[in-house]
């Protein structure tokens, strides 16, 4: 279905760079990760963390997220990776696409948990700080699907429909060209755009409500999960790319329902003040309740004093994290995205519409 007005799609999603190939999918993911780390770092510093603590978290969380995303994709769409005519190395070739968000979240949380234990801080402190940053990363990463001409919805004549090209299997990352012109399949619902805009809205929602209610104990993260899964559900209903179904619905919709319910229960049942970090006179990090966020609820630092010094582990000795910087950061007040909002609003192609992406 063609539209008189439509969003054009790129005909190229990969560019040679010497012996390497620069792929738009990967570039969008990398930019999203960097922006999310920057926002999370600002939020953690404003909650008393020593400088560059986010790097200690990201070094575990990012690889964990990528591995988890691939495992989820392998489990939910095995036909894309195993079978006649496919390379035995296909499951490892993530630059072809195929990363599942639910696996990314699970793997990233596991990596963040390992990093948090290493630094002696609660995982919930990290997750609440990252809650509005993660949907921003997802919003940026979704544009990799636009470059790949994938993850679109039903045919449409709406003026904001997206023009989709047939990609060339013999020349990955490029549209098929016939008689000097790229082959256009038609105009479709831009589900990648819908989800990108929704993700930005989720980030703003979490930031505003967290600023108002000072969520603690992982509740800001639970709010992010709820808001994202709600939007992902209706976006998934619009998609027409191949996907596994269960009881008449796409597997990702069932996962959205289950994850939403789990996050809702967590938000309703878990209580506790917003967590902050302080540096003791002996140079140790401890967890305390943020002012104005309720009672201690067992978060007093004396019970959670860690063996980490103010500058963190040995690997952090040059990060400038002394006692004064930690407490100074804690005194800068709450929240967090005031300066980040404008800069943050704005993953390797293969000829598959990754239903789980």
Cα(54)–Cα(40) distance, rounded to whole angstroms? 7
Residue 5: predicted pLDDT:
66
* Residue 350 contacts residue 168 (beta carbons within 8 Å): no
Cα(341)–Cα(204) distance, rounded to whole angstroms? 8
CA torsion angle 312 314 316 319 (round to 10): 100
Residue 214: predicted pLDDT:
94
Both tokens of 204, joined, read: 């703003």
Residue 76: predicted pLDDT:
82
> Cα separations (Å) of 268 from 97, 121, 262, 272?
36, 24, 10, 11
Residue with tokens 């967090």: 336
Cα(105)–Cα(99) distance, rounded to whole angstroms? 11
Both tokens of 352, joined, read: 């598959």
Both tokens of 309, joined, read: 């010094």
| pTM of this prediction exceeds 0.85 | no
* Residue 172 contacts residue 250 (beta carbons within 8 Å): no
Q: What is the domain partition of the chain in residue ranges?
A: 17-154+189-344
Residue 248: predicted pLDDT:
86
Residue with tokens 């999370």: 40
Residue 284: predicted pLDDT:
73
Both tokens of 138, joined, read: 């997802």
**Exposed, middle or buried by CB within 10 Å (0-12, 13-18, 19+), for 139?**
buried
The DSSP secondary structure of 2-55, one letter per residue, reads --SS-B---SB-EEEETTEEEEHHHHHHHHHHHHHHHHHHHHHHTTTPPTTHHH
Cα(336)–Cα(16) distance, rounded to whole angstroms? 39
Both tokens of 112, joined, read: 């963040």
Residue 312: predicted pLDDT:
44
Cα(133)–Cα(135) distance, rounded to whole angstroms? 6
Q: In order along the chain (357 residues), what is the average pLDDT of each group of 10 residues?
A: 74 92 92 97 95 96 94 84 78 76 92 95 97 97 93 92 93 92 95 96 98 96 97 91 83 93 97 90 81 53 41 41 41 44 41 44
CA-derived radius of gyration, the chain: 22
Pick from 143, 131, 200: which is nearest to 23 by CA? 143
Tally of CA atoms within 13 A in the half-sphere of 165 that contains its CB:
25
């Amino acid at each position: 279905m063609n539209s008189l007005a439509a969003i054009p799609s790129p005909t190229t999603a990969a560019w040679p760079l010497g012996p390497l190939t620069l792929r738009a999918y990967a570039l969008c993911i990398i930019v999203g990760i960097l922006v999310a780390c920057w926002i999370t770092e600002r939020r953690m510093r404003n909650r008393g963390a020593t400088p560059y603590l986010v790097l200690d978290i990201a070094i575990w969380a990012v690889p964990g997220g990528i591995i988890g995303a691939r495992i989820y994709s392998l489990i939910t769409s095995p036909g894309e990776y195993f079978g006649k005519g496919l390379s035995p190395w296909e499951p490892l070739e993530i630059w072809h696409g195929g990363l599942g968000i639910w696996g990314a979240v699970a793997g990233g949380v596991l990596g963040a948990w390992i990093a948090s234990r290493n630094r002696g801080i609660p995982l919930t402190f990290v997750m609440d700080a990252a809650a509005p940053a993660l949907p921003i990363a997802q919003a940026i990463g979704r544009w990799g699907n636009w470059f790949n001409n994938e993850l679109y919805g039903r045919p449409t004549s709406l003026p904001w429909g997206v023009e989709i090209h047939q990609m060339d299997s013999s020349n990955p990352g490029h549209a098929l060209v016939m008689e000097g012109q790229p082959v256009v399949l038609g105009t479709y619902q831009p589900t990648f755009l819908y989800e990108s805009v929704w993700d930005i809205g989720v980030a703003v929602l979490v930031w505003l409500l967290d600023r108002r209610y000072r969520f603690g104990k992982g509740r800001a993260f639970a709010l992010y999960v709820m808001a994202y899964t709600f939007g992902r559900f209706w976006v998934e209903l619009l998609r027409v790319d191949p996907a596994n179904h269960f009881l008449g619905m796409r597997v990702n919709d069932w996962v959205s329902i289950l994850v939403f319910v789990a996050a809702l229960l967590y938000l309703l049942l878990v209580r506790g003040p917003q967590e902050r970090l302080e540096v003791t006179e002996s140079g140790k990090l401890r967890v305390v309740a943020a002012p104005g966020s309720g009672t201690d609820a067992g978060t007093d630092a004396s019970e959670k004093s860690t063996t980490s010094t103010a500058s963190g582990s040995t690997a952090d000795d040059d990060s400038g994290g002394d006692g004064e910087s930690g407490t100074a950061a804690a005194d800068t007040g709450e929240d967090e995205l005031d300066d980040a909002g404008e800069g943050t609003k704005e993953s390797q192609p293969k000829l598959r519409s990754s239903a789980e992406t």
